[in-house]
């Protein structure tokens, strides 16, 4: 009875807020429009293949970079994914690449070993430091702030020869699943401009899904790589924690919270995941087994069809259930394996576990900064209720999701008993997956929602957040489109340090289900 009353009150409050948000939101000027199809063949090749062609002088880097610049200029006015470009610098760097290749006397092999992504375009999530580019995390208070260094992951990719084209949009303070802020505006889904691109790496998801980039950099603390990758029909990988550096990105995370955060690759083609992760892992690459050959027929496969009955959370939609079932059937038919269905009732405690982990003191014993504090920087913490009132009359510098999230965080008392549930689940998953197990799990409750709708279905992020809580590597894989032309997908999970298993499975699924689809061709 109490739970039913709580859900009734919640639904009434959410309905009122939804009405308010819709009232304050003007109709999009691009509503109903579609992306143009990809016409330039260079935009349809994986990064590794482009790098090979550039090294062999089959195509010049300037030509490739210019092709992507042309596509961005054609498409970005519709999707609003890249919020600052460096096109002139990128073309200069591409010309230097072509000159380097012309003068190289050591042969293609030398260049491949030293510069595996030589001349390939790259996009970067705006929260990461890219020298000379904006780094605001979508906060109005940080308007005009430029990065003076490169974040380690960006530096490693540049050192491997990749050429950054610009930085992409995020939600305010990177703490929401829709990329919208009062500094750069709203990013749209390339498959349907009335739908969200996801968050917090939503600009990356959209720019890649729209064929305006081939590889990108994202980060994930509750699904921020995987949700944009799912909604925008691309591949994304959240690595095992502690492998890829999280330094020089906003908001800064330290201490136990780093176990939740994973910086990783996002790309249109599964074949690019492994080489990107090898580069981004830097000195930690030997902790993974990325060079180990994976024999798919010898793996043990599991499927988890939903998160069970969880208050304030939607069940998995029928189209996503069917898509995951098709993966199970294909694995069993192709590999001769038996995919075992499993369930974990403890998943209903996901948000308690996530908030408890986010509330743990830093290594110095200090409380981590609250979202209210982050929103108030460089001044005092904001008052969420006051900002909510200001937002109602269009006077707040902060977005409604940021205000509501700050309000929810402030009202939530961390249940530290949830940490014991987390510890048990980690043990259960270690026993289940070992070093040869792979789990299939829904990416979200439904395909990409319409703009603002996630505000009223906050609980659905448990589908991704659970694997941040557990600290497991996950690869998001596209599985074609549904009847509405929106991307379907599935998460592929493995045990800690077994990233190579999820990536190899992604390569298999790309071949089996076709991978990324041109949104302009639908």
Q: CA of 116: how far to CAs of 50, 100, 361, 445, 507, in Å?
A: 10, 14, 40, 38, 19
- Per-residue pLDDT at 1: 47
Residue 12 falls within a domain, yes or no?
no
For residue 445, the tally of other CB atoms under 10 A from its CB is 21
Rounded to the nearest 10°, the torsion over CA 339, 341, 346, 352 is 60
pLDDT digits 0-9 by tens, 64-123: 999 999 999 999 999 999 999 999 999 999 999 999 999 987 778 889 999 999 999 999
The pTM of the full predicted model, rounded to 2 decimals, is 0.95
pLDDT digits 0-9 by tens, 228-269: 999 999 999 999 999 999 999 999 988 889 999 999 999 999
- Per-residue pLDDT at 13: 55
Could you list the beta-strand ranges (E) of 148-214: 163-168, 180-181, 185-186, 188-189, 192-196
Residue 368 falls within a domain, yes or no?
no
Residue 72 falls within a domain, yes or no?
yes
Residue 87 falls within a domain, yes or no?
yes
**Pair 272, 123: CB distance under 8 Å:** no
CATH assignment of the domain containing 188: 3.90.1300.10
Among 273, 246, 76, which residue's Cα sits nearest to residue 166? Answer: 76
Residue 504 falls within a domain, yes or no?
yes
Q: How far apart are the first and last CA of the chain?
A: 47
Q: Which domain holds residue 288?
A: 40-359+414-521
Q: Is 258 exposed, middle or buried (0-12, 13-18, 19+ CB in 10 A)?
A: middle
| Packed helices 273-281 and 47-55: angle between N→C axes, nearest 10 degrees | 80
| Packed helices 61-79 and 47-55: angle between N→C axes, nearest 10 degrees | 150
**Pair 490, 440: CB distance under 8 Å:** yes
Among 505, 345, 347, which residue's Cα sits nearest to residue 436? Answer: 505
Q: Which positions of the chain have pLDDT values less than 70?
A: 1-28, 411-414, 522
Per residue, the 3-state secondary structure of 371-434, as one string, reads HHHHHHCCCCCCCHHHHHHHHHCCCCCCCHHHHHHHHHHHHCCCCCCHHHHHHHHHHHHHHHHC
DSSP letter for each residue of 64-130: HHHHHHHHHHHHHHHH--EEEE-HHHHHHHHHHHHHHHHH--S-HHHHHHH-TTTT-EEEEETTB--
Could you list the beta-strand ranges (E) of 268-352: 300-303, 340-341
Q: From CA 477, how far away is CA 516, in angstroms rounded?
A: 9
**Pair 442, 463: CB distance under 8 Å:** yes
Q: What are phi and psi of 359, to 5 degrees?
A: -95, -5
Q: From CA 431, how far away is CA 9, in angstroms rounded?
A: 40
| Packed helices 384-392 and 400-411: angle between N→C axes, nearest 10 degrees | 150
Q: From CA 155, how far away is CA 162, in angstroms rounded?
A: 10
Number of folded domains that form the chain: 1
**Helix (H) or strand (E) run with residue 264 in it:** strand 262-267
Among 123, 130, 34, which residue's Cα sits nearest to residue 82? Answer: 123
Q: From CA 71, how far away is CA 79, in angstroms rounded?
A: 12
List the catalytic residues: 125, 200, 224
Residue 168 falls within a domain, yes or no?
yes
Q: What are phi and psi of 503, to 5 degrees?
A: -70, -40
Backbone region of residue 312 per phi and psi (left: phi > 0; alpha: psi in -120 to 50; beta: other values): left
Q: Is 132 exposed, middle or buried (0-12, 13-18, 19+ CB in 10 A)?
A: middle
Among 341, 336, 191, 287, which residue's Cα sits nearest to residue 498? Answer: 287
Strands 192-196 and 188-189: antiparallel
Residue 395 falls within a domain, yes or no?
no
Q: Three-state SS for 355?
A: helix
- Per-residue pLDDT at 33: 92
Partners of residue 192 on adjacent β-strands: 189
Percent helix / strand / coil, the chain, rounded to 5:
45, 15, 40
Residue 366 falls within a domain, yes or no?
no
């Amino acid at each position: 009875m109490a739970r039913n009353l709580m859900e009734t009150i919640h639904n009434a409050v959410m309905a009122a807020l939804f009405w308010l948000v819709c009232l304050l939101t003007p109709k999009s000027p691009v509503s109903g429009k579609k992306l143009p199809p990809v016409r330039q063949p260079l935009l349809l090749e994986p990064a590794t293949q482009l790098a090979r062609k550039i090294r062999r002088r089959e195509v010049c880097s300037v030509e490739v970079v210019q092709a992507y610049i042309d596509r961005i200029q054609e498409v970005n006015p519709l999707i609003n994914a890249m919020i600052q470009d460096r096109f002139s610098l990128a073309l200069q760097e591409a010309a230097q690449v072509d000159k380097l290749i012309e003068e190289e006397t050591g042969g293609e092999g030398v260049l491949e070993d030293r510069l595996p992504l030589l001349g390939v375009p790259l996009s970067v999530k705006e929260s990461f430091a890219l020298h000379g580019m904006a780094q605001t995390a979508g906060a109005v208070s940080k308007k005009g702030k430029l990065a003076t260094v490169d974040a380690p992951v960006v530096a490693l990719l540049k050192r491997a020869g990749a050429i950054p084209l610009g930085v992409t949009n995020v939600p305010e303070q990177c703490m929401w699943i829709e990329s919208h802020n009062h500094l750069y505006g709203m990013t749209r889904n390339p498959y349907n401009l009335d739908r969200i691109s996801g968050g917090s790496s939503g600009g990356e998801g959209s720019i890649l899904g729209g064929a305006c980039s081939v590889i990108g950099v994202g980060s994930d603390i509750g699904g921020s790589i995987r949700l944009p990758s799912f909604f925008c029909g691309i591949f994304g990988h959240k690595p095992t924690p502690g492998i890829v550096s999280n330094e020089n990105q906003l908001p800064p995370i330290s201490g136990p919270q780093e176990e939740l955060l994973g910086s990783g690759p996002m790309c249109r083609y599964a074949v690019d995941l492994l080489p990107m992760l090898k580069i981004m892992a830097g000195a930690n690459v030997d902790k993974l087994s990325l060079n180990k050959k994976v024999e798919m027929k010898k793996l043990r496969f599991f499927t988890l069809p939903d998160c069970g009955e969880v208050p304030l959370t939607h069940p998995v939609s029928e189209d996503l259930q069917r898509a995951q079932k098709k993966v199970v059937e294909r694995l069993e038919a192709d590999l001769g394996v038996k995919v075992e269905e499993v369930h974990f009732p403890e998943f209903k405690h996901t948000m308690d576990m996530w908030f408890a982990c986010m509330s743990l003191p830093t290594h110095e014993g200090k409380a981590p900064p609250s979202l209210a504090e982050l929103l108030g920087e460089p001044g005092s913490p904001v008052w969420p209720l006051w900002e909510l009132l200001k937002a109602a009359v269009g006077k707040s510098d902060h977005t409604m999701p940021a205000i509501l999230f700050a309000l929810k965080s402030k009202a939530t008392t961390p249940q530290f008993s949830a940490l014991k549930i987390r510890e048990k689940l980690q043990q259960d998953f270690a026993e289940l997956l070992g070093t040869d197990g792979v789990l299939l799990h829904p990416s979200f409750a439904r395909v990409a929602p319409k703009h603002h709708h996630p505000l009223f279905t906050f609980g659905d992020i448990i589908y991704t957040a659970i694997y941040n809580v557990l600290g497991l590597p996950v690869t998001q894989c596209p599985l074609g489109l549904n009847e509405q032309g929106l991307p379907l997908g599935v998460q592929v999970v493995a045990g800690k340090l077994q990233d190579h298993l999820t990536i190899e499975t992604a390569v298999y699924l790309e071949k089996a289900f076709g991978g990324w689809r041109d949104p302009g061709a639908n």
